[in-house]
Amino acid sequence: MTNYKVGYFVGSLAKGSLNRKLAKALVRLAPPELQMQEIGFGNLPLYSYDYDADFPQVAKDFKAAIAAVDAVLFVTPEYNRSIPGALKNAIDWASRPYGQNSFTRKPSGIIGTSPGAIGTAVGQQHLKSILGFCNSPMMNLIEAYIQFTPDLISDDGVVNSESTEAFLRNYMSEFSAFIARVLSVYPRSA
């Protein structure tokens, strides 16, 4: 079986982020062929095309981290019915300068959790629109809008609900199969 490196983004920069707990659970539940590694973006300055001629080192390192993985997974909350500004800023850095979009042909998945009843459904739709423009093939099924309840996931990523654990394990298994399908038709470097 082929192994794949998956870079994941935690959309919230908050230390106590519910989505960080979800990300830890996803890493624990991922099939063995997925090598999961977080790609941080909290130190990126606000993007401006003034940087396009000469990116700062932190942005070069960020783009290199994306280039080093086979696929990306976004684990993100919903802020004001969209994605967090820091995540949008990171995507802007990764997609620039023109012609050097880090997400082109890179398989992607989106998942998120929120205490609200609709989870992160609206924010995920915005993210799908952004990634579609970035030419990133997205796993559209299974959709995953997790309503976070107290003690659903521990700080170290242990899921305390059998049905949620089974769902998340299946999500990661489906994501692995999706990555394999996409990379069978798209070259890893384009």
Region 110-122: what's the mean pLDDT? 92
Q: For the chain, what is the domain count?
A: 1
To 10 degrees, what angle do helices 57-67 and 85-94 make?
80
Whether residue 171 is predicted with pLDDT greater than 90 in this model: the reply is yes
Q: Give a yes or no: residue 81 inside a domain.
A: yes
**CA within 13 Å, CB half, 93:** 27
pLDDT of residue 114: 94
Q: Give a yes or no: residue 189 inside a domain.
A: no
User: Contact, 134 vs 92, CB < 8 A?
Assistant: no
Question: What confidence tier does 189 reach under pLDDT thresholds 50, 70, 90?
Answer: low
Q: Give a yes or no: residue 190 inside a domain.
A: no
Q: Percent of the chain having pLDDT more than 70? A: 98
Query: How far apart are the C-alpha atoms of 62 and 10, rounded to whole Å?
Result: 14
Region 105-121: what's the mean pLDDT? 93
pLDDT of residue 187: 66
Which of the 8 DSSP states describes residue 48?
A: -
| Residue 15 neighbours by CB under 8 Å, 6+ apart | none
pLDDT of residue 190: 47
Q: Give a yes or no: residue 105 inside a domain.
A: yes
Region 15-40: what's the mean pLDDT? 97
Whether residue 83 is predicted with pLDDT greater than 50 in this model: the reply is yes
Region 172-185: what's the mean pLDDT? 96
Q: Give a yes or no: residue 41 inside a domain.
A: yes
Distance of alpha carbon 9 from the chain centroid: 4
Whether residue 92 is predicted with pLDDT greater than 80 in this model: the reply is yes
pLDDT of residue 47: 98
Q: What is the per-residue pLDDT across 29-49, written as a single tens digit (0 to 9) for each?
A: 999 999 999 999 999 999 999
Query: How far apart are the C-alpha atoms of 66 and 70, rounded to whole Å?
Result: 8
Distance of alpha carbon 156 from the chain centroid: 19
Question: What confidence tier does 118 reach under pLDDT thresholds 50, 70, 90?
Answer: confident
Question: What confidence tier does 143 reach under pLDDT thresholds 50, 70, 90?
Answer: confident
Whether residue 164 is predicted with pLDDT greater than 90 in this model: the reply is yes
Range of the structural domain that residue 132 is part of: 4-184
Here the CATH number for the domain that contains residue 161 is 3.40.50.360
Query: How far apart are the C-alpha atoms of 17 and 167, rounded to whole Å?
Result: 21
**Average per-residue pLDDT in the chain?**
95
Q: Give a yes or no: residue 33 inside a domain.
A: yes
